[in-house]
Amino acid sequence: MNFLKMILDVMITPMCLICEKEVSYGICCNNCFFDLNKDFNDFDRTKSLGITKAISVFVYSDRTKKLIESFKYNGFKKVGKFFAQLMAHKIENNKLLFKNEAIIVPIPTSKARIRERGFDHTDFLANELSKLTNLKYKKLIFCKNYKISQTKVKDRWENSKDKFIGIDISEYKTYQIILIDDVITTGATMISAIKVLNELGYNDIVCLSVAMKF
């Protein structure tokens, strides 16, 4: 499925979610569609963050921010399905990075955030991705306690330290773990999750996100 067809197949609103101009179909107008295509990220640029294996669909920009917020905060789940399709495309086209025997694992969301938004956005992405790829889906990490919103970069590391707990399932130790999140910023959340999984014996971990900040 090509990128344009994925856009056309996601029917949710007669208004472009990026520029808010009227459209007859899809999630964005033609102009924003072509601009969005420029945000595709085909490179692993996360080693400087301390993450060995990671890839994202987009480089984070004002355009991708609007789409992510429409899904994450406004509950436009068809945008989430659109993201999942693009993430599935990443997996299919990066066979050297992703293995056939893999488990899709979402970065956990706090109960407070789920109540606030009405759904778990990372769980939704992981579930949709599992359906599209026929890969196993499993929650292997969970949140401990939650503090205030992580609004400052300097606070994000502190709030991410030891915030997760994992479950030990021996039969999954031979599988590759694909960690799913919406945005990778400092990498602190992913690194915290990787640490927990590594300590339990899950050693082959790849991070996959909708967007990545640089």
- Rounded CA-CA distance 52/45 in Å is 9
Statement: residue 1 has pLDDT above 50: no
Tokens of 158: 């502190």
E strands present in the chain: 54-59, 102-106, 136-137, 141-143, 164-166, 176-184, 205-212
Q: Count other C-beta atoms under 10 Å from residue 127's C-beta.
A: 17
Residue in 71, 165, 186, 53 with CA at minimum distance from that of residue 124:
71
Per-residue pLDDT, 24: 64
Statement: residue 81 has pLDDT above 90: yes
Q: Count other C-beta atoms under 10 Å from residue 8's C-beta.
A: 13
Tokens of 122: 């990372």
Domain 39-212 grouped into CATH 3.40.50? yes
Domain spans, the chain: 39-212
pTM for the full predicted model? 0.81
Among 25-29, 34-38, 90-94, 185-189, which range has the highest average pLDDT?
A: 90-94
Per-residue pLDDT, 207: 94
- Rounded CA-CA distance 207/137 in Å is 15
Q: Count other C-beta atoms under 10 Å from residue 7's C-beta.
A: 19
Tens-place pLDDT, residues 101-156: 999 999 999 888 889 999 999 999 999 999 999 999 999 999 886 444 444 444 44
Average pLDDT, the chain: 82
Statement: residue 50 has pLDDT above 90: no
Tens-place pLDDT, residues 158-167: 444 578 888 9
Statement: residue 168 has pLDDT above 80: yes
Give the confidence band of 27 by pLDDT, cuts at 50, 70, 90: confident
Indicate the SS3 state at residue 57: strand
Tens-place pLDDT, residues 6-22: 554 554 457 888 888 88
